[in-house]
Amino acid sequence: MQSLILTTATRLLVALLLVFSIYALLRGHNLPGGGFIGGLIGATGFILYVIATSVSDARSALRVDPTNIAMLGVGIAALSGIMGAFAGDPFLTGQWLFLFAAEGEKGLPLSSVLVFDVGVYLAVFGGILTLVFAMEEEI
Amino acid sequence: MSWILVNPILIPLVTAVLAYLFRTSPAGRWISVAGTVVLLFASLILMGEVLEHGVIAGQMSNWQAPFGITLVADYLGGVMVVITAITAMATVIYTLAEIPERLERLGFHALLQVLVAAVCGAFLTGDLFNLYVWFEVMLISSFGLLVLGGSKEQLDGGIKYVTLNLVSTIMFLSGIGLLYGITGTLNMADLHLAVREVENAGLLTTIAVMFMVAFGVKAALFPLFFWLPASYHTPPVAVSAIFAGLLTKVGVYALIRSFTLIFDQDVTFTHTILLWLAVATMVTGVLGAAAMNDFRRILSFHIISQIGYMVLGLALFTPLGLVGAVFYLVHHIIVKANLFFVAGVAKRIGGSTDLSRLGGLYAHAPLLAFLFLIPAFSLAGFPPLSGFWAKYVVVKAALDLEMWFVAGASLAVGLLTIYSMTKIWGAAFWPKHPDGIKPRLGDLPAGERVALMAPIVGLAVLTCIIGLFPEPFVQFAETSAEQLLDPTAYVTTVLGVQP
């Protein structure tokens, strides 16, 4: 089905959904959100694109094979867990780096927790798109 | 300490990622081989630590038990991880000669490694919900392996497999929810203490039976085994071999763990059910095998009958019974995977796994015939192979309790096992091949011959070693049974306090 309204709206919505998915990912540290929901929202963007155009268009827009994205995500999540080893902590222990920290100032906190979330984001994003692309192609 | 525990899960997972990213080049399969070798070393290091300390535990992400995820290895968990690593290595070497490049490009090795990670995770976790997660990962990856390649027959088997296993999963999850509702914890060591304070004992027994059904489906207990013979003969042989070796054993392991550590309140009720289920499983499995006429189908039914022996050991709930269960678990993984490997080679050189379309293996491939006899006799329980000791201990435990009928049934099942092994021998090895093919091992390319035969020889040697020198293995199983029956060390190591 080709709908002019849908195709036009999709061009705007896909970009919005992708930005919103990153927002949900970053917000997830202390508030509702995170890698899983972020990945789902991001995948929704491309699913919309599939509905409006076709799977082959969506594949070329994504550029990378979604299964590769998913496996990369698993790898990144595993790596974030391994980071704990360098500090002598157990697997998956959160590691923190405070940039520009001063007296009474925390500075800019960076953590391996975010890296883990990014891994989850990519794994969910890639996994969902693999499934949806495969099913749409079957139909 | 905690890293030693994580390694057996982490190594296959990282291997899976690397093998997937390199799936289109030959590097992918060699990464998979290297991963299993590293896994074997990691599991041996873990086993060494377990032997030294008895029980070891690690708190992931530094959240203390019972709030975080705990990984625990006691004697049973440790030995299961080692045996998983051995089976995984044998399987991956075997795949080098069996799996076509088409399946490799679809990510075969990644799925296999994820399966191995999930099995190791299930053996090491000390948390019920985490166990559920590993079960799910195992289900998804094994479903992927079953249907990869997508032939009609495979999809048929795969759908049955996944549907019945999903029922088990739902049952398991509901059981977890109810158990959490009445105890407020899911850490298994903490549950061991918490269930003692539950007032409503009847509800606890109900939950115990839910877990029994859930794990019973996974372990292919009577009457819940239908998915197994419906699916195991369809995928590539290497896949059936690792399924036959490991998947049902995870169910048995979960049964042993939960019915010694958590549900030991109403033993006369729960373990009596287990006892009769075990006997029925043994008998139906072996009768099913006798009715089959396909190499892999016969072996699939034998898995079910052998599961009966292991659960019988647990159901007797005596130290000797549990020794038998643990010993049987280890012995059976080695033997069963090996028999499937032999079936694969027979199919390769003889052209089929259907017994009426096979023949001449004894005349033209005597080495294969000899290598079939070792695991086949071990499965049937011939001395001095490993299966003899496993059966002997279980039957002795039944006789000690004066359960004559149960002991008699398990001996009769052993006899019927020999019957179907001779059936395979009489159809596939003795007579001439119906199509006049001369199935010779020498006709295979040299590289493939090594990759196919090395795992078979290795596992056969292992069976003989366990059979000829059973003393250290039995002692090991005894310590393991002690730990299972008196989980004080397990609980104190996990919770870090005296109960």
Hey, where are the domains in chain B?
Answer: 266-489
Please state, rounded to an integer, the average pLDDT across all residues of chain B.
Answer: 89
Residue in A72, A74, A90 nearest the CB of B59: A90
CA distance B282 to B224: 13
CA distance B302 to B417: 8
Task: Tell me whether residues B20 and A71 touch, CB distance under 8 A.
Answer: yes
Token pair 């080692």 is at which residue? B82
Token pair 């021998």 is at which residue? B425
Nearest CA in chain B to A84: B61
* Predicted ipTM of the assembly: 0.82
Query: pLDDT tens, A25-66?
Result: 998 878 888 889 999 999 999 999 998 888 888 888 888 888
Query: Which residues of chain A does B20 touch, with a Cβ-Cβ cutoff of 8 Å?
Result: 67-68, 71
Query: pLDDT tens, B96-132?
Result: 888 888 888 888 999 999 999 999 999 999 999 999 9
Task: Tell me whether residues B14 and A75 touch, CB distance under 8 A.
Answer: yes
Query: Which residues of chain B does A91 touch, with a Cβ-Cβ cutoff of 8 Å?
Result: 2-3, 6, 10, 58, 60-61
B2, B63, B113: best to mutate for the A interface, most A CBs within 10 A: B2
Query: Which residues of chain B does A71 touch, with a Cβ-Cβ cutoff of 8 Å?
Result: 16-17, 20-21, 110
pLDDT score recorded for residue B242:
92
CA distance A130 to A118: 18
Token pair 């990369």 is at which residue? A72
Residue A92 confidence class, pLDDT cut points 50, 70, 90:
confident
* Helices vs strands, H then E, count in chain A: 5, 2
B7, B20, B69, B136: best to mutate for the A interface, most A CBs within 10 A: B20
Task: Tell me whether residues B10 and A81 touch, CB distance under 8 A.
Answer: yes
| H/E element, B308 | helix B295-316
Phi–psi pair at B56, nearest 5 degrees: -125, 150
Range B162-165, long-range pairs (CB < 8 A, 24+ positions) = B163/B227, B164/B217, B164/B224, B164/B226, B164/B227, B165/B139, B165/B217, B165/B218, B165/B227
Helix (H, G, I), strand (E, B) or coil at B69: coil
Q: Over the range A40-78, which residues count as b (16 or more CB within 10 Å of their CB) and which as e? A: bbbbbbbbbbbbbbebeebbeebeeebbbbbbbbbbbbb
> Is the pLDDT at A97 greater than 80, yes or no?
no
Query: B490: buried, middle or exposed (CB in 10 Å: 19+, 13-18, 0-12)?
Result: buried
Q: Over the Cα atoms of chain A, what is R_g?
A: 18
Nearest CA in chain A to B17: A71
> Which pair of structure tokens corresponds to residue B111?
């799925």
CA distance B241 to B415: 24
CA distance B221 to B351: 32
Residue in B6, B14, B20 nearest the CB of A91: B6
pLDDT score recorded for residue A139:
59
Task: Tell me whether residues B2 and A91 touch, CB distance under 8 A.
Answer: yes
> Which pair of structure tokens corresponds to residue B296?
């892999």
E-strand stretches of A11-133 = 96-99, 108-111
Please state, rounded to an integer, the average pLDDT across all residues of chain A.
Answer: 86
Helix (H, G, I), strand (E, B) or coil at A99: strand
Domain that holds residue A97: 4-138
Q: Report which of B8, B32, B43 is spatially closest to residue B92, judged by C-alpha positions.
A: B32
CA distance B392 to B287: 21
Nearest CA in chain B to A83: B61
Query: pLDDT tens, B362-389?
Result: 888 888 888 998 999 888 888 888 888 8
DSSP state of B72: E
Quick one: average pLDDT of B227-231? 85
Give me the number of domains chain A comprises: 1
Using CB atoms and an 8 Å cut-off, which of residues 433-492 of chain B contact chain A?
none
Quick one: average pLDDT of B391-418? 90
> Is the pLDDT at B201 greater than 60, yes or no?
yes
Q: Does B10 touch chain A (CB under 8 A)?
A: yes
Task: Tell me whether residues A92 and B3 touch, CB distance under 8 A.
Answer: no
pLDDT score recorded for residue B197:
87
pLDDT score recorded for residue B499:
41
Query: Which residues of chain A does B60 touch, with a Cβ-Cβ cutoff of 8 Å?
Result: 90-92
Query: Which residues of chain A does B21 touch, with a Cβ-Cβ cutoff of 8 Å?
Result: 68, 71-72
Query: Which residues of chain A does B62 touch, with a Cβ-Cβ cutoff of 8 Å?
Result: 89-90, 93
Q: Does B59 touch chain A (CB under 8 A)?
A: yes
Paired strand residues for B70: B59
Token pair 């968990």 is at which residue? B77
> Is the pLDDT at B498 greater than 70, yes or no?
no
Query: Which residues of chain A does B58 touch, with a Cβ-Cβ cutoff of 8 Å?
Result: 90-91
Using CB atoms and an 8 Å cut-off, which of residues 105-124 of chain B contact chain A?
107, 110
CA distance A37 to A35: 6
> Is the pLDDT at B423 greater than 50, yes or no?
yes
CB atoms within 10 A of CB B281: 28
Nearest-Cα distance to chain B for A74, in Å, is 7
Nearest-Cα distance to chain A for B281, in Å, is 38
Query: pLDDT tens, A69-82?
Result: 998 999 999 888 88
Rounded to two decimals, what is the model's pTM? 0.91
Nearest-Cα distance to chain B for A7, in Å, is 32
CA distance B291 to B420: 9
Task: Tell me whether residues B61 and A82 touch, CB distance under 8 A.
Answer: no
CB atoms within 10 A of CB B194: 18
DSSP state of B408: H
Q: Report which of B109, B231, B110 is spatially closest to residue B160, judged by C-alpha positions.
A: B231
Quick one: average pLDDT of B160-189? 91
Nearest-Cα distance to chain A for B65, in Å, is 13
pLDDT score recorded for residue A85:
80
Query: Which residues of chain B does A68 touch, with a Cβ-Cβ cutoff of 8 Å?
Result: 20-21
Residues B314 and B480: beta-carbon distance below 8 Å:
no
User: How many CB pairs (< 8 A) connect A and B?
Assistant: 47
Q: Does B14 touch chain A (CB under 8 A)?
A: yes
> Which pair of structure tokens corresponds to residue A121?
């984001």
Nearest CA in chain B to A93: B61
> Is the pLDDT at B204 greater than 80, yes or no?
yes
CA-CA-CA-CA torsion sign (B404, B405, B406, B407): positive
Query: pLDDT tens, B283-324?
Result: 999 999 888 888 888 889 989 999 999 999 999 888 999 999
Task: Tell me whether residues A90 and B60 touch, CB distance under 8 A.
Answer: yes
CA distance B307 to B305: 5
DSSP state of B262: T
A-side interface with B, Cβ within 8 Å? 67-68, 71-72, 74-75, 78, 81-82, 84-85, 89-94
